[in-house]
Amino acid sequence: MGVRTWIQEWPVYRQLTGSDPLGRGAATTSAATREQRPRTVTADKVVKSVCPYCAVGCAQNVYVKDDRVVQIEGDPDSPVSRGRLCPKGSASLQLTTGESRRHEVLYRRPYGTEWERLDLDTAMDMVVERVIRTRREGWQWERDGVSVNRTLGIASLGGATLDNEENYLIKKLLTGLGVIQVENQARVCHSSTVAGLGTSFGRGGATTFLQDLQNADCIVIEGSNFAEAHPVGFQWVMEAKARGAKVIHVDPRFSRTSALADLYVPIRAGTDIAFLGGIINHVLTGGHDFRDYVLEYTNAATIVGEDFEDTEDLAGIFSGLDPETGHYSISTWAYEGGEVQAPQGTPDELYEDRTRRDASLSSAASSESHGSGGAPTSAQVPTDRTLRHPRCVYQILKRHFSRYTPEMVEETCGIPQDTFLEVCHALVENSGPDRTSEFVYAVGWTQHTVGAQYIRTASILQLLLGNIGRPGGGIQALRGHASIQGSSDIPTLFNVLPGYIPMPHAHAHEDLDTFVEAMKTDKGFWGEMRSYVVSLLKAYFGDAARADNDYCFGHLPRLTGSHSTYHTVKEMLDGVCKGYFLMGENPAVGSANTKMQRLGMANLDWLVVRDFSLIESATWWQDGPEIETGELRTEDIATEVFFFPAAAHTEKSGSFTNTNRMLQWHFAAKEPDGEARSDLWFMYHLGRRIKERLKDSTDPMDRPVQDLAWSYPTEGPLDEPSAEAILAEINGRDARGAPLSAYTQLKDDGSTSCGCWIYCGVYADGVNQAARRKPHTEQDWVAAEWAWAWPANRRILYNRASADPDGKPWSERKALVWWDADQERWTGHDVPDFIPDRAPSYRPPEDARGPDALSGVDPFIMQADGKGWLYAPAGLVDGPMPTHYEPQDSPVRNPLHPEQQRNPVREVISDEHNAFHPSGGEPGSEVFPYMITTYRLTEHFTAGGMSRWTPYLAELQPEFFCEVSPELAAERHLEHTGWATLVSARGVIEARVMVTERMSPIRAGGRTVHQIGLPYHWGPNGYTRGDAANELSAIALDPNVHIQEVKALSADIRPGRRPRGPKLTALLEDYRRRAGITPRTGTEVRG
Amino acid sequence: MTDTSKRPSLIGRNLLAGAEPDVAGDAGHEDHPPRVGFFTDTSVCIGCKACEVACKEWNAIPEDGLDFTGMSFDNTQGLSASTWRHVAFIEQNKPLGRAETGVDHGDVDVLALAAQGSGTPVQEAAITPTSPASPSADGQNGLRWLMSSDVCKHCTHAACLDVCPTGALFRTEFGTVVVQDDVCNGCGYCVPACPYGVIDVRPEDGGAHKCTLCYDRLGAGQEPACAKACPTDSIQFGPLDGLRERAAARVEELHRVGVEDARLYGHDPEDGVGGDGAFFLLLDEPEVYGLPPDPVVTTRDLPSMWRHAGAAALTLLGGVAAVFAAQAGVSGRRTGRRR
């Protein structure tokens, strides 16, 4: 720098000579200030990605400089997020590049007290050796004389935070190995959604997409903390509000969602069926249903068999209950003259009936023998279009809900009658040809012992109001992990294969044909199930799958009952399950009854944890709560623990399926550091090494592994398998290897392969459709050219129903798709969810099967009768219609059915650590007088693995707390910001106290019910630490889908911190003794 | 762009208070872009704190403490050297959307509260929400939960800048006020000068820090990180004139639908700081959010103070001169006498 320049740089010189004589602006800038450029500009490249937190699926731009990620922010082109990110999405730079991530493999040897280092290659070989050994030792050829071909020795948990391609490889490899206990977060979060929506409409996903909220005239958010758990998606509620929509929030807690609602309705936790049932009653008794819609598009007119008896007739139970086993025989629920299959939900219920060639059952419903055919088509089911027949669905529904009066709603839910009626009026006024209302829910509905029926209740109501398949209508299931929809579609779930094809149960002499016969429907697209199954088997077993070996159908391991993650825990405790993979899931915090989770893991031979940091599920042997109380000693625990650091979303390519079934591709921005690897890498190389070891084996149990098609191209220095190649396999190929473009091209003769039939088309024309990123500003509001949604890129499902029976929109205001008579095709704003050229006037011949049997007025093309189900004759094991039952642990006696407190067929797992509470005024129920509901905060994520270690998030909600009302605080002497101890029969925890009027006591069941809110994100590890709310929860499950009840459970609260060490176990024992708890408490079927 | 030829001379104007139409031009920025700012519409804020995190990520600000405050969901407590966005949470016993106007806070020392932000300890807080209150007579809670993201106001008359002795604080071409880290010596004069309690010195590095309105991003035509992240567009960024129009329309709209409590804060060029570059739509009195009700630039009275000081100095000087003059006379006389 010359002297002249140096002088000119002097601010005083510039002040005196320039335009800023006061020296407050231009003159005072330093060289550094003038030269600064944002790192978004200086980056070497910008990589398109998707946020890894919740399932809104906000698009991200990842800025990379010198092979380092330097910034992550929203991509303004996205039609879903419009460039916005919530605090978690905004913190994803710190999540992925922060100091809390581990990059080395760690190993804890049996009985070891410390972690040791292990190199990645050795660790992989050790895991391979253990998988092969455990599989061999635990192999089952048969169970009860029936072939099962499986091992219960190994289990896996996790997938909802992973890519679709990773889920695909996990399920494929483990299925090939005969491992059936494959589960992920979808089990504990939204499994009841699949059953509830699936049986009602034919598909288990949300019926609409987030942006469509803006078209709603009324939005009811219930069972969801929308604004907190899905903040960026909530912008569409605000859009609707700005356009004049009424927003109603129904919740036990006044949350940040309530703060933005027009009407907040406090409700007693666990009573939503009573509330929604009350609205159904209001609609039916007032004649407010959308009659033309109901008559044409639902099963309202269908006649139900004579043997059906309702809960109103049988004191709270339906016909068919076996009080000894606690199971329903569902045959009496059938339509008159025949049963009808629901492939979603629990189709195996009807296996015997549907495969029996010469059955002669006494019941009218199942007495038909169907020859080689299945259930009769709906054309043969009698209907009464006047809706007057006493056994038509409409009349049965009306009777069933007739006691759900405003008075009963008040008594049960604690909702004042005028508030309840305000909701009724808002919904009725905002439904019909010109207006639509939308329901939004999340795990506040799913996580109950009657979870699937919560969603059924909303489905029935929305069908009656004519809100399904129409813009601004529908049911929005908000999902909470980046790809939890994907890990349901390409399932890492025990009971389904990709595309919701049921996993085969063990049956004698079952082959591919009998399996398909039992599962498929005769009408609609499930009628083509054989094509889907054969194409999947071709994708799994490649050339080895041939017509002469039943396409390797026999290679598939068989189920015997439930193998859910909770039943697997029991298998661990019983010493059956010996090896466990945890891939991005933290059951020691996030699953119900965390103590059983840890005790189960302490009984394993080996445990593999793949995560970013040392989560509680990886370190329980060292510092878990049982070590603190002395129930376990580190030196006594034999479990070998492997910790593998995982790659972040920025370090791998793949697709996430968002909450609205939309697959969005994210590209790798860089290679993972150290020994961190993607789960795709882990599964691929694990499978490759296992196959290599077993390639010369002559043991027949190794044949499926040998036959597994496992050749994928790898790329880069780490030999990362190509995610796009796997997406192409998922999409499917024809006989020449060319990509398919639609599932209608699938064949059942082995000439096509397809890894997930509902995803067929995502790689159409050899182009990664999930990677499409045409900006929303260059498209209409549907934005069909952004990414790709299943099925067939439709955004609003069942949208045939947006037009009247003649194919015209119900109103101009609510037009979506319609029949173009000139072109003789369906057309409109969205991809029609219907056969493109099937005219509204078309009526199928009597003998039509599959899609050919769909008439021009059957909008629910996946349903066995083409109709939306107000009444579910099959598909659910706990009733064809929803009924209010109290939660498993509830201080309130069931006001609706005092003689039947709980869901009679709920699942409870008996274990000394899974004790239940006396309920509903029974002696001892006063020991646990309060209701707890668990929930999420904006600032944290699920079990904390992706937020508690992130300082920017931790500081926003730095401690575990409980929310209590001022009244409860006074009653129990709880001090604001002080400590409270919470006790259930399962555990004792402590939390800071948040006294707030947002929690209000509720008057219900003739008493005051105090409710306590507990965010469930905390655990003893991480940057912010606290006790886990799930120490209190029990394993009490919905019988359809085995989801746990954590949204409503009774407990006690007392001031002060909890005891430490053995005193804690003593306090727990004392509570159990005072409540008189026995192993039988709360397990009864009747009563 | 402003036509600099028409800009009035700086001489003879009070640049420390009152209306100031061309804040960047008067700071020597020729051909500068329009003044930009934030309009924070708290009526659509969902309290997610994305702004806090996006700000910290972009500006690499350290995490600053895991304190469970009990102040509703506000654990940030206020703006500081390491917190440039702060979301306040106020729980109130008022019906949603039908808020009453004219709530009397006469018995509350609002200035004392404002100085503490919404981090007022519960027991000391007169209008802080989570202090348990009894339900109304009918047992119904008409509850509302206000959330508001606070930030540096980028005042038209920025006292922090005016008092900065090193030139570290400067007015940018966008009309915003920014600290230059490489110039700041950490003297801390700016800290008490700010009428909002925004700027502070970070003990770890000894420098004063506050929101820069993402000066580096603005230079590249990008919006500030907080506004970009905000899920509901509660934080809006843009040319100040446009924002003021939008804000006026929004208040009108809210009044039309019955939210009579809606009012703007910091929008008025005639207020004590000449209007804020970052202004707000509030649903209650400013002090409820921890904002001073009538902020005044602390240097407003500098001219008159200097005038008075000058007069005093002149008087003093005159006195001294008179004394000397008198002295001279006396000594002359003495000399004369001696002579």
Question: What is the β-pairing status of strands A640-645 and A606-611?
Answer: parallel
Q: From the list A26, A258, A262, which residue is nearest B27 (CB)?
A: A26
φ, ψ for residue B103 (rounded to 5)? Answer: -70, 130
Q: pTM score > 0.90 for this model?
A: yes
Q: Give B217's contacts in chain A (Cβ within 8 Å).
A: 38, 40
Query: Nearest Cα to A758, choosing from A731, A795, A727, A722?
Result: A731
- Taking the CA of residue A40 and the nearest CA in chain B, the distance in Å comes to 8
Q: Give A232's contacts in chain B (Cβ within 8 Å).
A: 231
3-class secondary structure, A183:
strand
Q: Which two tokens stand for residue A613?
A: 């940091």
Domain range A907-1074, CATH class:
mainly beta
Q: From the list B27, B133, B216, which residue is nearest A37 (CB)?
A: B216
Contact A683, A163 (CB under 8 A): no
- Taking the CA of residue A643 and the nearest CA in chain B, the distance in Å comes to 28
Q: Give A256's contacts in chain B (Cβ within 8 Å).
A: 46-48, 73, 145, 147
Round to whole Å and give the CA distance between A975 and A646.
42
Say yes or no for a CB contact (<8 Å) between A259 and B67. no
Predicted confidence (pLDDT) per residue in B230-258, tens digit = 999 999 999 999 999 999 999 999 999 88
Q: Which helix (H) or strand (E) holds A438?
A: strand A437-441
Round to whole Å and give the CA distance between B55 and B127.
29
Tell which B residues from 89 to 118 touch A, by Cβ distance under 8 Å.
Answer: 91, 93, 96-97
Predicted confidence (pLDDT) per residue in A1030-1050, tens digit = 999 999 999 999 999 999 999
Q: From the list A24, A258, A969, which residue is nearest B170 (CB)?
A: A24
Q: Give A260's contacts in chain B (Cβ within 8 Å).
A: 44, 46
Tell which B residues from 174 to 233 touch A, by Cβ distance under 8 Å.
Answer: 178, 180, 182-183, 214-217, 219-220, 222, 225, 228-233
Tokens 């934030």 belong to residue? B38
* For chain A, domain boundaries: 3-35, 190-356+368-477+795-884, 907-1074
Say yes or no for a CB contact (<8 Å) between B75 and A997. no
> Amino acid identity, residue A800?
R
Q: How many interface pairs between A and B have CB atoms less than 8 angstroms apart?
A: 236
Q: Which two tokens stand for residue A430?
A: 């905002």
Half-sphere exposure (Cβ direction) of A750: Cα atoms closer than 13 Å: 14
Residue A229: closest C-alpha in chain B: B48
Number of C-beta neighbours around residue A958 at 10 A: 22
Predicted confidence (pLDDT) per residue in A540-586, tens digit = 999 999 999 999 999 999 999 999 999 999 999 999 999 999 999 99
- Taking the CA of residue B134 and the nearest CA in chain A, the distance in Å comes to 8
Instruction: Give the N- to C-terminal CA distance of chain B in Å, as an integer.
Output: 74
Interface-testing mutation among B185, B232, B306, with chain A (most A C-beta atoms within 10 A): B232
Question: What is the β-pairing status of strands A321-322 and A327-328?
Answer: antiparallel
- Taking the CA of residue B72 and the nearest CA in chain A, the distance in Å comes to 8
Please calculate the CA angle A427-A428-A431 and round it to the nearest 5 degrees. 85
Say yes or no for a CB contact (<8 Å) between A84 and B28. no
> Amino acid identity, residue A862?
M
Q: Give B220's contacts in chain A (Cβ within 8 Å).
A: 37-38, 40-41
- pLDDT band for position B320 (cuts 50, 70, 90): confident
Q: Give B231's contacts in chain A (Cβ within 8 Å).
A: 84-86, 231-232, 234-235
- Taking the CA of residue B229 and the nearest CA in chain A, the distance in Å comes to 4
3-class secondary structure, A163:
coil
Average pLDDT, integer, range B127-145: 48
Round to whole Å and give the CA distance between A807 and A803.
5
Q: What is the pLDDT of residue B141?
A: 52
- Taking the CA of residue B331 and the nearest CA in chain A, the distance in Å comes to 45
Q: Which two tokens stand for residue A568?
A: 């697997």
Contact A756, A499 (CB under 8 A): yes
Q: What is the pLDDT of residue A1046?
A: 97
- A190-356+368-477+795-884 CATH: 3.40.228.10
- B26-300 CATH: 3.30.70.20
Say yes or no for a CB contact (<8 Å) between A40 and B222. yes
Q: Which residues of chain A fall short of a pLDDT of 50?
A: 357-379
Q: Give B69's contacts in chain A (Cβ within 8 Å).
A: 977
Contact B67, A958 (CB under 8 A): yes
- Taking the CA of residue A7 and the nearest CA in chain B, the distance in Å comes to 17
Q: What is the pLDDT of residue A360?
A: 30
Instruction: Answer whether B161 touches A (CB < 8 Å).
Output: yes
- pLDDT band for position B311 (cuts 50, 70, 90): confident
Q: Which two tokens stand for residue B37?
A: 């700012």
Instruction: Answer whether B14 touches A (CB < 8 Å).
Output: no
Q: Give B29's contacts in chain A (Cβ within 8 Å).
A: 19-20, 25-26
Is residue B326 exposed (0-12), middle (13-18) or buried (19+ Cβ within 10 Å)? exposed
Say yes or no for a CB contact (<8 Å) between A84 and B231. yes
Contact A53, A92 (CB under 8 A): yes
Instruction: Answer whether B172 touches A (CB < 8 Å).
Output: yes
Instruction: Answer whether B84 touches A (CB < 8 Å).
Output: no
Please, which contacts does A402-407 make with residues 24 or more away whose CB atoms are closer than 8 Å?
A402/A281, A402/A285, A402/A312, A403/A281, A403/A312, A403/A896, A404/A274, A404/A277, A404/A278, A404/A280, A404/A281, A404/A884, A404/A896, A405/A278, A405/A281, A406/A278, A406/A282
* For chain B, domain boundaries: 26-300, 302-339
Predicted confidence (pLDDT) per residue in A70-93, tens digit = 999 999 999 999 999 999 999 999
Q: Which two tokens stand for residue A929?
A: 């007088």
- Taking the CA of residue B325 and the nearest CA in chain A, the distance in Å comes to 37
Interface-testing mutation among A253, A956, A1010, with chain B (most B C-beta atoms within 10 A): A956
Say yes or no for a CB contact (<8 Å) between B132 and A997. yes
